[in-house]
Structure 1
């Protein structure tokens, strides 16, 4: 039963929290107004933000790339077990389509991305990296445990970041083993059983020789989607993760850093539910979608400073094992489709179920030489290798046609080799021209086996083999102008690339036909941008405009009712802008706002196309408007006779305008506005706080699919969570 006017209950627990946070912000403004203006001008400046968008740490003001950054404070606003996906809501023009489990979440940057469903973990339309080391698509949604920041680099990162990415790269930057003493424990508890506990330890192990850092997390919780067949609330999550790093100093010129990350994710969840159906949000599943993933990542980095240049060698290994089982016939959806009662689709043996196993082992290596940080000419060159072996196997059972019946096994191998170079050439006072290029070769092979379960219309068995390869050239040219130390104006033209390949699942195997390959996709991206700091460092401003022209974008178009899909390549174009501002109003009060606009449409769609796309049709899952507005406050309580600070923050995340649910633009997902808030007290040792996520219990639609024009399904986001937490430093 729908709840009446949830926004009208202004003074419930969550709204009271927001009111308290607002009062603390007003108190800060009043305190600032009582200070002499000279005192304010000396202390009211923004902190300098450093990023590694060009593989070395440097101030954002020097980087001729559009970068969206999520800091630990930003990440803390989101549900810990889903933060890697949820942070997309606060970075304009970065959208993630979440279909219920993190393995298949897929992103788009400025409208360029996997348009429907990832073909395989090799997809590089959007790249993911861990401190610059390339990641599998299936590892990009890892726990953001002990993370210093997440950088969303908009536009093709086709030179400096491992494998070439077509639309952008999401770079996860863990906290370094820098030798600074850091011992703390943090716990949080909220409604619906949501919780997490972090234990973090870092510092110097052997002075001037060895530093170390380690972090452990336990997190989980539930949702409010009711499975009416067994009464279980979904999703139900239990996650454990650990991250560690050691850094050796081998003399004055050489460092060796070894890192490790492990995550075990177990959850009962769902894919799509009937939109606005009975008892919404609800499902009627014989069993929930059971998802289990074990993810292990190890890296080693060796740096040596020569007199003339710096040399860096990086090695990485990833091991990903996932299991997935699901009921493919939700009784609520299929009751609407067929007119039969919900009970007609209930089965104690899960008659229409999928059970899959996914395994991937990936290796990467890179050697690069770079100019010294203070050299007048900035340059980088190197070689990169990335190899991955992926296997998908399991059984399908379906009452709705032969294409989802039998045993499937597929082995896909990727071999990627490339060389790259970039140089920043000063061409005049304050002007720099930066050409860059990556030349490489990718090969993808596929071996497949199918064995029928006896359903009429299927072949008894089928074996296949295929291989595709591409030699590619990507790169671009950037012209930048730096009028002063805190300002930058730039324009660029870049060519992005995403490799050719095969889908991991062959829908045609039951008919004895091999899986079709798809060609490489290329994109030309044109961008202009600027960023500056004004008013004596109190205000930072940035903005960029862009245009993307994509050829052969990879598309997986699903027919939900028939349980079939079509693989296609379609051209599309996107254009828009990002703009952001951050203002230090007083020494204890900061406001910020970021907004993005993306217009994205298919072009040159063939008349024979069967995906449902059409010329001028909108790309699925891409919001027209997205952004965030927020306030952060810190009030010293010393004048009131108490130790510590009163700390509070509140922000509004929004998605507005059209957001097509599917390739055919059958219907639009609803816009939403999410309010998050926190208020607490802290000093150098202790921190206590209360929080609200999705304060006004907004109904969020993350993804959608149509069975017919009237039977529509969506993946809902998490509803309101109210709770509290504490942290102790030792």
Structure 2
């Protein structure tokens, strides 16, 4: 049965599920997410509503009030209050969300692999991580689940899941409005309205948001500020209580971004093994070139190619929740699209080396999930079926400019001094991806005694990927070369842009599962231990393949193996001081064989990396989450994570830039010293025992709020002041750790103060990055081992005022 057929069947089920079942709740609806009347935090992490302290999973919950107060308007901002979550993005397409350092390879995105962290919005899986770059829109709460979740969620998630729940339509009229203004010409507006269309039967909710902000980096070439924000979002949902036992929710959303973004700029220069006259300083001098500043935090650049990060994402979903027998049958049918229209400057400086680098892409996905969940006196269980299909088409372009020959070619080549050899050399890529995923999953929780529970889970998964990569190269004089006929190119041209065509395929079945033992030490102390065996689907390389010595693609690198995950975890969830304080602890040990690493391609003209399997990696650590209502007027919180991480075995990894760029050492030859120009470079490096990229050993978030009764303009309310801090220790920003790309640790501080009323008004001033800390989000190297290191400076100090109202 085809995926579209399953999707259609799911829609039909959602629309015509029989309404004869008995009433399970007074209103026929599932319990809402968020805080219950008794102050407990209710989550749906296990696909049923329950107190977060009773869930034997490491899960953190952030409600809408906390999100708004901290200025956490997307996943990228969420990392400052979630120590185990990291998010890296050089532009929306090249983004990665990782939990405990795992999830997606660090570096440029390769569309042929899966994300290890699932992003779910109202139970709909979003295959494109770009969804995480959009503003949160009318969000009720965000749950961050740490560790494998494949026996509970439709798409396999080997590292964790970000479960976002939006506000549901209501049968009483309500509205919300919010306006924020700040420095950097920052303006953000949000509004939502909800109410009944037909009393007790049909309700509607509409929401919209808009964000504008001037860029943080000034481009002296274009006379514009870049790395700006320009976001629009719309969302609507209809809730129909078809019967006392059947609810149908139809949702649609559309989001658009169109900022002048995303610049990575000169950060520093390091020495490689490339001959000295081919390294950055000598090459720049040959063109009488100097960057506008050698201090990235002057926030100046001279990029000479247009920047654009246009994207739109949206879709429609239909969710049916039917009280059937002792449980709830849920159907979630969804269609989503993503359109991406970028323009980048991939030489990172103001010389015409690479004048065009753009990979516009269009994607459609269909998903269908059927799930039945029962909560009983002794047995709770969930089982379900999931089907997913994705089609993606990318049409990429890369074009070289008049400076390319001198910059990219070996000076011993007769063509190095001839700009015409590479000027106008252009690669036009036509890339297709089709992905199908089918799964059956389930989890059982058996209450052996009033205190002891056993929880086994199982997942059977089938994945199939097929791709097509065709690169046609056209010279500046108009000669066309394809993978079947490239005689029109000389060896220098093929070494920079080579015609390629290949059709990678991957398919595989796997069985995974987990087993949890949970024990209630007391009513307020809960312990658990978990073992999970998980897999991340194999992948295909769709960024082009590395070339052999004859400049032909190495077809053996077209596919990568699945990741094989073994995960162990123990946890303790406690409350004390009459439940005014909560302390949760978790310790974990995760080992991955055939880890999917995004590795740097050191060929001279290649801008993108490719995927490879590292033999084995290990991540282990301890996490703590604490929060307390210290007094009637003071709330405090602190969270921390210690994460030890390493490549256990990766013997044939790409070398870091200080061990690259020279002639490859042959058998019996000794590679040169790191960073010494003109030395021999090893063909590959053994980085066993080294750090994984993107992971800090220590990370913390902490803060608190103090409030007291007050009156403003005759209105009773409370005044408050709050502080939120975070810290991350040093981490590597290169797949193979380099002396040039470690990012030093940094601490951030945010403060706010305001006045709010019980009637729904809240006005506060805020300062983020209060001490104007200079730090990099990412560092990367220029292709070709020139020694140039480019960086992405994070936001400077920002400040502003927010006014919110509920009615």
8 Å CA contact 1:695, 1:720 repeated in 2:
yes
- Residue 55 of structure 1 deviates from its aligned partner by 1.4
Distance across 2 between alignment mates of 1:233 and 1:79: 22
Query: Cα–Cα, structure 1 residues 462 and 98, in superposed 2: closer, same or farther, change >3 Å?
Result: closer
Preserved CA contact (<8 Å) 1:404 1:563: no
Q: Could you list the per-position Cα deviations for residues 490-543 of structure 1 after superposition, in whole angstroms to 9, with x for gaps in the alignment?
A: 000012221112122214588466561111112111000011110111111101
Shift of 1:460: 8.4
Which residue of structure 1 aligns with residue 328 of structure 2?
Answer: 310
Give me the whole-angstrom Cα distance separating, in 1, the residues matched to 2:214 and 2:686.
37
Gaps of 5+ in 2: 1-36, 269-292, 410-421, 476-488, 656-683
What is the CA deviation profile of residues 164-222 of structure 1, one whole-angstrom value per residue up to 9, with x for unaligned ones? 11111111111122434321221100000111001110123222101221110010202
Task: Check conservation: 1:69, 1:91, Cα contact below 8 A.
Answer: no
Q: Distance in 1 between matches of 2:554 and 2:147?
A: 37
Q: Is the aligned partner of 1:433 residue 2:433? A: no
Tell me the secondary structure at the aligned position of residue 483 of structure 1: strand
Residues 74-95 of structure 1 deviation map (CA, whole Å, 9 limit, x = unaligned): 3225556x62212112112111
Q: Which moved more, 1:141-150 or 1:588-597?
A: 141-150
TM-score by length of 2: 0.79
Structure-2 residue corresponding to 1:11: none
Residues 244-299 of structure 1 deviation map (CA, whole Å, 9 limit, x = unaligned): 21111111111101112210001112342222652532222013431100101221
Q: Secondary structure at the match of 1:140?
A: helix
Q: What is the aligned partner in structure 1 of residue 55 from structure 2? A: 63
Moved over 6 A (4+): 401-404
Partner of 1:379: 381
Highest RCO, 1 vs 2 (Cα 8 Å, sep ≥ 6): 1
> Structure 1 447/536 Cα, relative in aligned 2: closer, same or farther at 3 Å?
same
Structure 1 segments unaligned to the other structure (5+ residues): 1-44, 332-341
Q: In structure 2, do the counterparts of structure 1 residues 206 and 612 end up closer, same or farther at CA, with 3 Å as the change threshold?
A: farther
**Out of 785, 793, 801, which is 1:716 matched to?**
793
Which segment is superposed worse, 638-647 or 257-266? 638-647
Quote the offset at 1:97 in angstroms: 1.6
Cross-structure match for 2:119: 128
Q: For residue 597 of structure 1, what is the aligned residue in structure 2?
A: 642
Larger-Rg structure: 2
Distance 1:381 1:242, change over 3 A: same
**Structure 2 residue aligned with 1:264, among 224, 246, 256?**
256
Instruction: Give the match for residue 211 of structure 1.
Output: 203
SS of the residue corresponding to residue 630 of structure 2 reads strand
Q: Are the counterparts in 1 of residues 545 and 558 from structure 2 also a CA contact under 8 Å?
A: no
Residues 663-672 or 387-396, more deviating: 663-672
Indicate the SS of the match to 1:497.
strand
My pick for the range that moved more, 120-129 or 442-451, is: 120-129
CA RMSD of aligned residues (A): 2.5
The Cα of 1:566 is off from its aligned counterpart by: 4.1
**Structure 1 residues 467, 639: closer, same or farther in 2, change over 3 A?**
closer
* Contact 2:101–2:695 (8 Å) recurs in 1: yes
**How far has the Cα of 1:686 moved from its partner?**
2.6
- Counterpart in 2 of 1:39? none
SS in 1 for 2:93: helix
| Deviation per residue, 1:105-135 (Å, 9 max, x gap) | 1022112122323321751322211122211
TM-score where L is the length of structure 1? 0.87
Q: Kindly indicate whether the alpha-carbon contact (under 8 Å) linking 1:46 and 1:539 is maintained by their aligned counterparts in 2.
A: no
d(CA) in 1 for partners of 2:561, 2:447? 38
CA contact (8 A) 2:231 2:257 kept: yes
| In the alignment, structure 1 residue 523 sits paired with structure 2 residue 515 | no
Alignment of 1:572-611 (within 5 A): 572-607=617-652
Q: 2 CA distance for matches of 1:711 and 1:466? A: 33
Residue 113 (structure 1) aligns with: 103
Structure 2: distance between partners of 1:499 and 1:51: 28
Number of the residue aligned with 2:220: 228
Distance 1:501 1:557 in 2: 14
For 1:381 and 1:119, locate their aligned partners in 2 and report how far apart those are by CA, in whole Å: 32
Cα distance in 2, alignment partners of residues 625 and 268 from structure 1: 34
Match of 1:337 in 2: none
* Alignment match of 2:612 (pick from 568, 575, 581): 568
Q: 1:649 to 1:617 in 2, by over 3 A?
A: same
User: Could you tell me whether the CA contact under 8 Å between 1:416 and 1:443 is conserved in 2?
Assistant: yes
2:177 counterpart of 1:102: no
* Counterpart position of 1:706: 781
Whether the aligned pair in 2 keeps the contact of 1:646 and 1:681 (CA below 8 Å) is yes
Indicate yes or no: 2:439 matched with 1:418: yes
Matched residue, 2:538: 500
Residue number in structure 2 paired with 1:355: 358
Contact 2:596–2:612 (CA<8 Å) still a contact in 1?
yes
Report if aligned partners of 1:431, 1:479 keep a CA contact under 8 Å in 2. yes
- TM-superposed deviation, 1:103: 2.2
Say whether the 8 Å CA contact 1:147–1:173 is kept in structure 2: yes
CA distance in 2, matches of 1:612, 1:702: 26
> Per-residue displacement from partner, 1:455-507 (whole Å, max 9, x unpaired)?
64439855432211010111110000123443311000012221112122214
